[in-house]
Structure 1
């Protein structure tokens, strides 16, 4: 049974219960992380996920609320994985390869830690107690920069990338479709309503889509809206319209601003989405597990 873990369902603004974006899809045979925002490694552990068992990480884009915990994930994975494990895969739009190399590579910002954990006698002893043999291997990753149209295959799953309309041309943003024999899941990342993501999501069982509040009481944001400058994120209406156009079965609203996550606005966002989409709508919270994906898959067919 495939499970989606909502680890991060917030924005760059930290609150007591939301901060940044991160999700894990567990097929029962493989685990894949989509985005690695603030605290993702710790949130995964709190959800009962063994981070050393995550096979791949896909980054939708390089805003910090989607990627800032990658150094923690990489160092934790390297330090605690079973010696001889297959390298974890890390994919995303450019410069993902350079980003990873800048963390654990020969000139990476954590090079001092890699050296200490490889050469200090106590660290060497701990590594040997875990079954490793000296000299301790360097961190190894299978990394690639993806483009719209890229396809990545794993253990029983296929991930397809499409352009998401967000902050181009400053950097590329991607949406991903995760297909297995059991189900299909689309993670839009940060995007406006656009034809590329709609096409990617055609007939999918579940779509996780950002739910931004364009009128959250911030005078500066309201001014940008009035001037037509904020058009790079879906609100509940656009998320629902895109889900309807794509013919998905379930819509999961994520990436909530602090204002829209309040009980009243959240209920209104859910209501707006339901007015524009006839399928199931979920207003996600961090720690949520969505488990009945096979049921959604069969009922849609």
Structure 2
């Protein structure tokens, strides 16, 4: 058995034909964890060979719309398939504050369709199994697979003004994967990443583009995302061997712009492997070559 990490979306709120909304799939044997569900997640999962009924859990880092716009589609599609697969409700792991109400409301939007389907095919309405947890200041376990092979820890990150934002650490028999969610470079993610084999982290070219965005709304937006140079310095400090960049701000549109992300991480002193993310990029934990 091996553990793989697949980027189901590397984009930002602005739509792109090449980059779906943010999402990361971590798989170990038959345990499949989807972290966030941005725009077109269901389609990217299909391209990766994973159907919603195969997911062990959906983990939400925070409720910015670009990270959760496909939650309803994911849960609803799993429900529609349930009479074929019998996998039952999707477990959803998230901070206890706003997430339960959000999930309840987005599912309620399909009330008409649910009523029609229940009359003809489905046995009952779509449901989730909520694994809601208090916002942790230090890493704490928030989910474990029924087989006991895969554990998930969470810690709060620094994405203010969004207060209820977390990163996740997934531990499997093969190693450790950390997914930052949206955050500035911060001590909490540094602590979560210690000893990790792969760190999937958002990346923003805020230092390089500081003058270009000065005095604009982008200056504010950049302030609560992870600067590439600072990220490189943090990854070097904690000794992560493989850094995977995602949620690329601004989204690169040429090979030269892609290269600039890695160049700036190197400026921070990081000497390990860097993968500048694209949709469906897949890496294997412990595999230096990746895919």
TM-score, normalised by the number of residues in structure 2: 0.87
Matches within 5 A, 1:262-277: 262-275=254-267, 276-277=269-270
Could you tell me how far apart the structure 1 residues matched to 2:71 and 2:213 are?
Answer: 29
User: What is residue 92 of structure 1 aligned with on the other side?
Assistant: 94
Could you tell me how far apart the structure 2 residues matched to 1:294 and 1:56 are?
Answer: 23
Matches within 5 A, 1:4-19: 4-19=5-20
2:152 corresponds to which of 136, 156, 159:
159
2:244 corresponds to which of 234, 246, 252:
252
Q: Secondary structure at the match of 2:248?
A: coil
Change (3 A) 1:260 1:239: farther
1:179 touches 1:185 (CA, 8 Å); kept in 2? yes
Could you tell me how far apart the structure 2 residues matched to 1:162 and 1:63 are?
Answer: 17
Could you tell me how far apart the structure 2 residues matched to 1:140 and 1:227 are?
Answer: 40
Could you tell me how far apart the structure 2 residues matched to 1:43 and 1:24 are?
Answer: 10
Q: Report how far residue 226 of structure 1 moved.
A: 9.9
Q: How many residues align?
A: 278
Matches within 5 A, 1:260-299: 260-275=252-267, 276-291=269-284, 293-295=285-287
Query: Are 2:120 and 1:142 aligned?
Result: no
Q: Report how far residue 179 of structure 1 moved.
A: 0.6
**Runs (5+) with no aligned partner, structure 1:** 128-135, 297-301
Change (3 A) 1:141 1:272: same
Q: Report how far residue 16 of structure 1 moved.
A: 2.6
Could you tell me how far apart the structure 1 residues matched to 2:170 and 2:221 are?
Answer: 31
> Which structure has the greater CA radius of gyration?
1
User: What is residue 228 of structure 2 aligned with on the other side?
Assistant: 236
Q: Report how far residue 178 of structure 1 moved.
A: 0.5
Q: Report how far residue 217 of structure 1 moved.
A: 6.9
Query: Are 2:44 and 1:70 aligned?
Result: no
Change (3 A) 1:119 1:150: farther
Q: Report how far residue 249 of structure 1 moved.
A: 1.3
Provide, for residues 112-161 of structure 1, a one-character-per-residue CA deviation record: whole Å limited to 9, x for no partner.
Answer: 111111103xxx2xx5xxxxxxxx13323211333224421114211111
TM-score, normalised by the number of residues in structure 1: 0.85
Q: Report how far residue 73 of structure 1 moved.
A: 0.3
Could you tell me how far apart the structure 2 residues matched to 1:66 and 1:88 are?
Answer: 17
Over aligned residues, Cα RMSD in angstroms? 2.4
